[in-house]
């Protein structure tokens, strides 16, 4: 049986939610009475659930096929292998096939003799275990005062049906019982029937359920999940102690042993993606099963897709920004100085993530983008002033950038410090539920620590080295201006 326990942590606590998750996990593992307990924890919040596509764990292995028993066996074989991977926790298969079940089979011949149909037996059992509302929603009552509609149904008291013996004693009646001939009914089952004679009509008494059904104990799946009409088995894997990317790569390599990549042969695993044709678990020569697939999904696949999209977006944005700066500065070299200094931000981001034990994920990547935006904005302010000084005061590149740095050091520093101190609470994750956004704040802090020196020292050096005084383009412009002025003087 599955159960969901929701725990609300108080505000007056000293540790994060992940710390309490580790305490519970270690406590369950240490107690022998919980040896058969399968459990998983979800402390990620709404953001993590959205990234996981609604799953409770960041890695999900889905096996779909024509036969759910075969798919379940493949998923169980994968589970036994992935539990040995460092960083994998809470590995469990969601769909069970061995849920204890009582199967009630109606003896149709006996039921027909007693004037009871299979549907009437079903309604009697459901009414005893649940309520008649489950099969009859046409009876309702409307409150004259409030106008609310209430369904009306009947059910047995819970204390009257507490075992299989009491269930077998419930009476069953049928609309066809009045058609029974009294003598024929008494002849066929005199000990089971107690007819009552009323106006020459035979009305049979209720029949106990035990005389109409055969009950066997078996196991069945409590629920069957379908993906595109095919039964699906889900294996959920939690991650702890390692970053998601490395754990997912190890799981990826393990799944390679249980299936053949879906796609063209000769490509790498990264190019082929996260879908496999599953091998037959009963065969030793690894023959792919027709219609059975293994799909690796969850936050891992969403993270890969996000990284890919962000990479394409950043590349296009860099090209667009470069040409916009070319139009602004009227130079191809100055925007290049700005963009060449951007990778220096990683010198602050990567050590910050390493020191704080934070992985490179979607949140930290967004933090890198934020810090790049702040750094580029400050750099453009300084180079734009330098270009303006070169045109107005006829300064050399060295003098222009030095004066621009002296003029812009205060606004550049104030902008960086304001963003730095604003991100400290996010990086420390002191508030309840703020652990998910901590990588973003830490990446911004690292980027600002490296971006401020790069803006004030590295960019001026690149400007002096790359922007030379008296370039050919400038000479041609000066010559054209001199010729224009001389022609005006001649006139």
- Residue 158 reports pLDDT greater than 60: yes
- Where in the chain is CATH 1.20.1640.10? 330-483
CATH of domain 101-220: 3.30.2090.10
pLDDT in tens, 44-93: 666 666 666 667 788 889 999 988 899 999 999 999 999 999 989 888 89
Q: Average pLDDT for residues 357-377, to the nearest whole number?
A: 86
pLDDT in tens, 95-132: 888 888 889 999 988 888 888 888 888 888 888 888 88
Q: Which pLDDT belongs to residue 85?
A: 92
Q: Tokens for 232?
A: 């699906």
Q: Which pLDDT belongs to residue 197?
A: 44
- Where in the chain is CATH 3.30.2090.10? 101-220
Q: At 291, phi and psi to the nearest 5?
A: 85, 5
What letters, b where the CB count within 10 A reaches 16 and e where it falls short, cover 323-343? Answer: eebeeebebebbbbbbeebbe
Q: Which pLDDT belongs to residue 443?
A: 92
Q: Average pLDDT for residues 297-314, to the nearest whole number?
A: 79
| CB contact at 8 A, 276 and 259 | yes
* 30 vs 449, more confident: 449
Q: Residue 219 and residue 398: Cα distance in Å, rounded? A: 83
Q: Which pLDDT belongs to residue 446?
A: 93
Comparing CA positions, the residue from 79, 116, 85 lying closest to residue 233 is 79
Q: Residue 313 and residue 26: Cα distance in Å, rounded? A: 43
Q: Which pLDDT belongs to residue 213?
A: 92
- For the chain, the average pLDDT equals 81
- Residue 274 reports pLDDT greater than 90: no
What is 44-97+224-302's CATH topology?
Alpha-Beta Plaits (3.30.70)
Q: Residue 179 and residue 267: Cα distance in Å, rounded? A: 74
Q: Which stretch of 191-205, 344-358, 398-412 has the lowest confidence by average pLDDT?
A: 191-205
- Where in the chain is CATH 3.30.70.1440? 44-97+224-302
| CB contact at 8 A, 78 and 233 | no
Q: What percent of the chain has pLDDT over 70?
A: 84
Q: Which pLDDT belongs to residue 284?
A: 78
- Residue 475 reports pLDDT greater than 50: no
Q: Report the CATH superfamily, name and number, of domain 330-483.
A: Multidrug efflux transporter AcrB transmembrane domain (1.20.1640.10)
Q: Tokens for 144?
A: 């004259």
pLDDT in tens, 230-240: 889 999 898 88
- 432 pLDDT band, cuts 50/70/90, is low
Q: Which pLDDT belongs to residue 267?
A: 45
pLDDT in tens, 371-429: 988 988 888 888 888 888 888 888 888 999 999 889 888 999 999 999 999 999 888 88
Q: Tokens for 216?
A: 């066997």
CA angle at residue 274 from 273 to 276, to 5 degrees? 110
Instruction: Report the DSSP beta bridge partners of residue 278.
Output: 259
Q: Residue 442 and residue 359: Cα distance in Å, rounded? A: 11
* 200 vs 339, more confident: 339
Would you put residue 68 in left (φ > 0), alpha (ψ -120 to 50) or beta?
Answer: alpha
Comparing CA positions, the residue from 149, 129, 133, 132 lying closest to residue 141 is 149
- Residue 343 reports pLDDT greater than 90: no
* 103 vs 272, more confident: 103
Q: Provide the terminal-to-terminal Cα distance of the chain, rounded to the nearest Å.
A: 101
pLDDT in tens, 26-43: 888 888 888 777 777 876
Q: At 259, phi and psi to the nearest 5?
A: -165, 165
Strands (E), 206-328: 207-208, 213-220, 225-227, 230-239, 259-261, 275-279, 288-298
* 18 vs 104, more confident: 104
Cα radius of gyration (the chain): 37
């Amino acid at each position: 049986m599955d159960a969901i326990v929701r725990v609300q942590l108080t505000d007056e606590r000293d540790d994060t939610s992940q710390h309490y998750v580790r305490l519970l996990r270690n406590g369950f593992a240490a107690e022998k009475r919980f040896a058969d307990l399968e459990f998983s924890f979800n402390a990620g919040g709404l953001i993590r659930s959205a990234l996981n596509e609604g799953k409770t764990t960041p890695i999900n292995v889905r096996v779909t096929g024509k036969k759910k028993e075969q798919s379940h066996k493949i998923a169980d074989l994968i589970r036994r292998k992935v539990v040995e991977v460092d960083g994998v926790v809470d590995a469990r298969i969601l769909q069970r096939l061995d849920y204890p079940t009582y199967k009630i089979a109606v003896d149709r011949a006996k039921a027909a003799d007693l004037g009871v149909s299979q549907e009437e037996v079903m309604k009697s059992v459901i009414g005893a275990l649940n309520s008649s509302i489950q099969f009859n929603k046409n009876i309702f009552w409307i409150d004259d005062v409030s106008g609310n509609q209430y369904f009306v149904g009947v059910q047995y008291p819970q204390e009257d049906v507490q075992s299989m013996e009491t269930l077998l004693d419930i009476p069953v009646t049928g609309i066809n019982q009045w058609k029974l001939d009294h003598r024929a009914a008494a002849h066929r089952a005199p000990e089971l029937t107690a007819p009552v004679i009323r106006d020459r009509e035979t009305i049979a008494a209720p029949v106990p359920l035990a005389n109409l059904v055969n009950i066997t104990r078996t196991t069945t799946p409590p629920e069957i999940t379908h993906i595109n009409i095919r039964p699906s088995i889900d294996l959920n894997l939690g991650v702890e102690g390692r970053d998601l990317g490395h754990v997912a790569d190890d799981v990826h390599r393990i799944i390679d042993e249980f299936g053949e990549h879906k796609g063209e042969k000769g490509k790498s695993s990264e190019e082929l993606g996260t879908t496999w044709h599953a091998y037959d678990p009963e065969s030793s020569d690894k023959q792919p099963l027709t219609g059975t697939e293994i799909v690796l999904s969850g936050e891992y696949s969403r993270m890969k897709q996000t990284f890919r999209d962000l990479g394409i977006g950043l590349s296009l944005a860099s090209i667009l920004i470069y040409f916009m700066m070319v139009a602004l500065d009227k130079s191809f070299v100055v925007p290049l100085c700005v963009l060449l200094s951007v990778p220096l931000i990683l010198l602050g981001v990567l050590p910050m993530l390493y020191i704080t034990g934070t992985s490179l994920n979607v949140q930290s990547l967004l933090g890198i983008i934020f810090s790049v935006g702040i750094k580029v904005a400050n750099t453009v302010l300084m180079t734009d002033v330098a270009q303006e000084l070169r045109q107005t005061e006829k300064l050399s590149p060295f003098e222009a950038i030095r004066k621009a740095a002296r003029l812009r050091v205060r606004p550049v520093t104030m902008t960086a410090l304001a963003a730095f101190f604003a991100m400290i609470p996010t990086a420390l994750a002191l508030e309840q539920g703020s652990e998910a956004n901590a990588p973003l704040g830490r990446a911004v802090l690292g980027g600002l620590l490296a971006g401020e020196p790069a803006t004030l020292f590295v960019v001026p050096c690149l400007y002096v080295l790359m922007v030379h005084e008296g370039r050919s383009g400038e000479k041609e412009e000066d010559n054209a201006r001199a010729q224009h002025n001389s022609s005006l003087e001649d006139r």
